[in-house]
């Protein structure tokens, strides 16, 4: 899949530095556009949906004023970041093969706007905090399950995201989608390795052949580090091999089963300190 637009959703007071750092690396390698989506809470809609808040002493005028101030500050930081990285602040539709960036500020429900914007992007980058926090937790579900686009979850700032990419391959539809939608990214990586997740060597060789047909010739099986769960083994293997990005399908078992019993996706989202790229 050709990656031309990278969506980075954020909101007031969120630390978007890690997302932007990884987006800049990828945009530079692929000549892609970074579209920053800044979402402000619609306080009027909240008031309509929760009428019991009326008379509760909540100063909505002050909330809106603080929100506007935060948005202005975030935009100023974005412009500074663009200048520091030499990125032209071009409209998102501008047909250019150079790295560029744009800022879109909207008011509304965060998850719905991520879903809407994500469907017209090729790649989405969210913070690891998005999988846990009250507001940000609404980003993971719409990004991964509502857009049909690969989503990279960032825990810490890293400028080496494409140095060593590891594919956790279990042959599932979700893993196939993650790989198929990431070929542009994998082609730009310095090194690509394959973690055999419960599959035989024949399945690994078939994946290597597929990748080579897409011009990805650095793929090879990686020595697995055993652990007490698949998720723990993936992360231990990645750590031992200096992996900078893991590519894997999201929720290859049912989401309900993983939510109740835990599972590989949940383990990776909880404990990974390196970026995880997921698709469903």
DSSP one-letter string for 246-257: EEEES-SS-HHH
Question: pLDDT tens digits for 5-33?
Answer: 999 999 888 889 999 999 999 999 999 99
* Euclidean distance between CA atoms 1 and 68, whole angstroms: 37
pTM check: above 0.75: yes
Which tens digits make up the pLDDT trace of 100-148?
999 999 999 889 999 999 999 999 999 887 555 544 457 888 999 899 9
Per residue in 55-71, pLDDT tens? 555 666 777 788 889 89
Q: How far is CA 152 from CA 80, 121, 210, 226, 276, in A?
A: 24, 13, 22, 25, 5
Indicate whether 158 pLDDT > 80.
Answer: no
Cα–Cα distance for residue pair 7/143, rounded to 1 Å:
10
Angle (deg, nearest 10), helices 173-180 and 201-213:
30
CA distance 263 to 109: 29
Give the chain's domains with CATH numbers: 5-154 (3.40.50.620), 165-279 (3.40.50.620)
Q: What is the pLDDT of residues 172-231, one digit of tens each?
A: 999 999 999 999 999 999 999 999 999 999 999 999 999 999 999 887 999 999 999 999
pLDDT digits (tens, 9 = 90+) for 26-56: 999 999 999 999 998 776 655 555 555 555 5
DSSP annotation of 125: E
* pLDDT above 70 coverage of the chain, percent: 83
- pLDDT score at 134: 44
Q: Which residues of 242-258 are buried (b: 16+ CB within 10 A; e: fewer)?
A: ebbbbbbbbbbeeeeeb
Using CA atoms of 275, 203, 1, 143 in order, give the dihedral in degrees to the nearest 10. -50
**Predicted pLDDT at 58:** 64
Instruction: Give the span between the Cα atoms of 239 and 260, in whole angstroms.
Output: 27
Query: In this structure, are residues 128 and 155 in contact, taking their beta carbons and an 8 Å threshold?
Result: yes
Whether residue 101 contacts residue 82, with contact meaning beta carbons closer than 8 Å, is answered with yes
């Amino acid at each position: 899949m050709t990656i031309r637009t990278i969506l980075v959703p954020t909101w007031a007071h969120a630390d978007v530095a890690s997302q932007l750092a990884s987006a800049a690396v990828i945009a530079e390698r692929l000549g892609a556009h970074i579209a920053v989506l800044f979402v402000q809470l619609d306080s009027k809609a909240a008031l309509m949906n929760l009428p019991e808040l009326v008379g509760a002493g909540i100063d909505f005028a002050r909330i809106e004023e603080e929100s506007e101030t935060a948005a202005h500050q975030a935009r100023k930081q974005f412009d500074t970041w663009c200048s520091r990285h030499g990125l032209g602040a071009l409209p998102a539709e501008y047909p250019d093969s150079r790295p560029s960036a744009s800022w879109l500020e909207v008011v509304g429900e965060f998850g719905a706007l991520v879903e809407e914007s994500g469907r017209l992007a090729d790649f989405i980058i969210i913070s690891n905090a998005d999988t846990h926090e009250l507001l940000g937790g609404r980003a993971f579900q719409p990004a991964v399950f509502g857009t049909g686009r690969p989503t990279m979850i960032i825990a810490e700032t890293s400028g080496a995201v494409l140095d060593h990419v590891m594919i956790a391959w279990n042959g599932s539809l979700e893993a196939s989608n993650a790989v198929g939608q990431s070929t542009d990214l994998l082609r730009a990586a310095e090194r690509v390795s394959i973690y055999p997740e419960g599959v035989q060597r024949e399945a690994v060789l078939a994946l290597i052949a597929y990748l080579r047909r897409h011009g990805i010739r650095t793929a090879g099986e990686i020595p697995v580090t055993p652990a007490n769960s698949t998720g723990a083994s993936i992360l231990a293997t990645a750590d031992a091999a200096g992996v900078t990005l893991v590519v894997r399908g999201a929720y290859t078992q049912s989401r309900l089963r993983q939510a109740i019993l835990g599972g590989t996706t949940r383990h990776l989202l909880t404990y990974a300190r390196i970026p995880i790229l997921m698709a469903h």
